[in-house]
Amino acid sequence: MMLPLVKLGSLAFRTLSKPIAARLKHNAGIHPKFRGFIIGIAQANHRFTTNMQRRLYGRATDIHIRPLNEERAIQAAADLLGELFVFSVAGAAIIYEVQRSARSEARKEEVRKQEMEAIKKREEQLAIEVQLMKQKISEMERKYSKWTLLPGFRGFGTAQAAAQPAGTQQPTAA
């Protein structure tokens, strides 16, 4: 029951992050200090991606890269911020799911260990009880081996406990 609710909440959180990212993109170009900051980020990102593309296509990378105009830089930075926000929310949701699953597995493993310990303790107790019973049986055999309950009966629990009187034979399986 808990797992579907957590997954549904995670999905809702990721879905709600998209309008927040859109709002962040809209407000990014309005504030002057933030605007200057994101223009620098957009220009650095533009230089990096252009150099990567030129390397990928085998072209020279030591050339001057023309900077983006201010509006394109703001739009590129706002898009980058929006995508980064959505990606961060999705990544945080995945990390949360993995940690929750790991905690759940750790709890299950701890329960299994406790059950195994209980089984081992019970096995040890039973082994001790069996040993005590064997000792008691041995004591009883020694104590009562001298008693004769029936003629021809020699002892308690011995192999010859049911010795046959002389002259009789035990039936054999053919």
Per-residue pLDDT reduced to its tens digit, 22-31: 777 777 777 7
Domain span including residue 50: 11-137
The answer to whether position 1 is within a domain reads no
The answer to whether position 162 is within a domain reads no
The answer to whether position 144 is within a domain reads no
- What is the count of structural domains for the chain? 1
The answer to whether position 160 is within a domain reads no
Per-residue pLDDT reduced to its tens digit, 123-158: 999 999 999 999 999 998 888 877 655 555 555 544
The answer to whether position 3 is within a domain reads no
- The model carries a pTM of 0.52
The answer to whether position 88 is within a domain reads yes
The answer to whether position 172 is within a domain reads no
Residues 6+ apart with CB under 8 A from 83: 21
The answer to whether position 2 is within a domain reads no
